[in-house]
Chain A
Amino acid sequence: MAEEIDDIDYTDNLFMRLLQCTLCGQNNRFNYEGFSYKILQTIEEGIYGRVYRCRHSATGDIVAIKQIKFDDEKIGVPSSVVREVSLLRALQHVNIVSLLKVLTKETYVNLVFEPLDQDLSHYIRDNRGVQDPSIRKSFLRQILVGVAYCHAHKILHRDLKPKNIWIDNSRMIIKIADFGLAREFGGDMLLTRYPPNRYYRAPEVFLHCQHYSSGIDLWSVGCIFGEMVIGRPILGDTCDELDAIFRMLGTPSEENWPGITQFPLFGSYAIYNPMDLSTVFSGLEPEGLELLKMLLCLDPKRRISAETALKHAYFKD
């Protein structure tokens, strides 16, 4: 592991080396300072690369640096990187992790983020959920505010899960991160690639509904809310998540999900009656339970939007 990450944007000398030209005077937006970031700790190691906690050598500022490598030159800059970085450049909100700087290198990018302390999955594991009702409410409200902001900008996150939600410990502020799968929605787009994480995936995605929309993020928020209450993923270990969803919430019918019988995959599922959610989520206040049910509404058309969820009685204090 390299001890340091230099604070140099590769583009500064890219053109000189490759195309023998000079950069426009106006264009030194990454202001090359000649300093470096000292790596303090590796926060996370993923398939795409690593996340480091670093300190800037001159200012002493603590940052998180996500290093994404471009493995395959045949595809050029991966579309996930193009999307994530450009979406983060477009989104500026207190509940969305802020991207301070992009350092473009020859075969990777360093994304410099505000410092991140801990993700929600660690918090849930260490504290067996989010037991304090007021903290739980505050976390959920902040997640919904962030999601509402994304949706107002017509951006779907598509991969909301506790691992992608970070907590600023000192101020207890939620920061939604990891927009690698996020996309703009609406317009002429069919969304065909499915988000990989199955625990937080909405039922319409399992059924291969092609025109899914903002509802998939709200479903994930519902799963995260439930997980904060019981301290583990609400579906538990299962090899058929859709079956587990129907076991918990009851198998839908044309009555509560018009059009459900049109999905070819639907026919293979058994008919279950809904469980009593007040026993499953026994620690939750009645208003919270009502909101949870609205988030975990099977029919995406009737699922509550982030905007409306924020006006729910659960948040009236």
Chain B
Amino acid sequence: FEHKKICFGDYESNGLFDHNIELSDEIVGLMVQKEEEHLPRDDYFENLHAGHFNLSVRKQALDWMMKAHAYFGFGPWSIFLSVNYLDRFLSLFELPRDKNWISQLVAVSCLSIAAKIRETKVPLSARLQVGTPKFVFEAITIQKMELLVLSTLGWKMQALTPCSFIDYFISKINCEQHQMKSSLLKS
């Protein structure tokens, strides 16, 4: 996974290992529970494969989100969150099939919300629409769509992403390596 690599890179370069909350097994247990509260409906992936409509909406939305994400230089969290919101929204909401602009509006809103959660600098929502998308929306329309996404997802926007678990797995790996080293020394 490319994103995982990006994420590792950021962690290392910023030396952010030293924040003083360690991820215990107990907390990771809570995190897994929390992750489950922020997943698309169970039948989403089946439906995605069966119905081509959501699949094409997802693909179009994803294409644009990746471009805009790179353009603004957002961190890895923002793209993970955007995709999480997109998938959950599509799994809960039946989009009208005759509106081909809808995927773009959903994409802009999901990225905008994710940026508001994770980024320190967030562009104005209308300015977010970079990369010459086919449809460009007014700020007020984006705000309304944001509200629809937020309330459809029950305002549960603190989803966990692979980044959340990386610290824990790294500490596990380090720990095991230490144990291996020490047992090697003993032998």
Q: Classify chain A: how many residues form its interface, as a range.
A: 35 or more
A305 CB contacts on chain B under 8 angstroms? 20-21
A154: contacting residue among B11, B21, B144, CB under 8 A: B21
Which residues of B have CB within 8 Å of A27? 92-93, 152
CB of B176 to closest CB in A, whole Å: 22
**Docked complex Cα distance between A18 and B141 (Å):** 9
User: A79 — which chain B residues lie within 8 A by C-beta?
Assistant: 116-117, 122
Asked if A89 and B156 make an inter-chain contact with CB atoms under 8 angstroms apart, the answer reads yes
Which stretch of B45-53, B58-66, B157-165 is in the interface?
A: B157-165
Q: B26: shortest Cβ distance to chain A, in Å?
A: 9
Q: Is the CB of A186 within 8 A of B19?
A: yes
Minimum C-beta distance from A212 to chain B (A): 10
- The residue on A at minimum CB distance from B6 is A188
Residues on A with C-beta less than 8 A from B92 are 24, 26-27
Q: Are B125 and A74 in contact (CB under 8 A)?
A: yes
A215 to B142, CA, bound (A): 37
Interface residue B100 (Cβ < 8 Å from any Cβ of A): no
**85-143 of chain B: CB within 8 A of chain A:** 92-96, 99, 102, 112-113, 116-118, 120, 122, 124-126, 139-143
Binds B, one of A6-14, A39-47, A168-176: A6-14
Find the residue from A9, A77, A305 having the highest chain B CB count within 10 A. Answer: A77
Secondary structure type dominating chain A contacts: loop
When distances are taken between beta carbons in the complex, the residues of chain A under 8 Å from B93 are 21, 23-24, 27
- Cβ of B148 within 8 Å of any chain A Cβ, yes or no, is yes
Q: Considering only CB atoms and an 8 Å cut-off, how many residues of chain B contact the other chain? A: 51
> Looking across the interface, which residue of chain A has its beta carbon closest to that of B149?
A77
Q: Is the CB of B117 within 8 A of A187?
A: no
A90 touches B156 (CB 8 A): yes
B173 within 8 A of A: no
Does A19 interact with chain B (Cβ within 8 Å)?
A: yes
Which positions in B face A, CB cutoff 8 Å?
7, 10-11, 14, 16, 19-21, 27, 30, 34, 75-77, 92-96, 99, 102, 112-113, 116-118, 120, 122, 124-126, 139-144, 146-148, 150-152, 154-158, 163-164, 167
Q: Can you list 8 A-B contacts (CB < 8 A)?
A: A10-B147, A10-B151, A76-B139, A77-B146, A77-B147, A89-B154, A90-B34, A106-B147
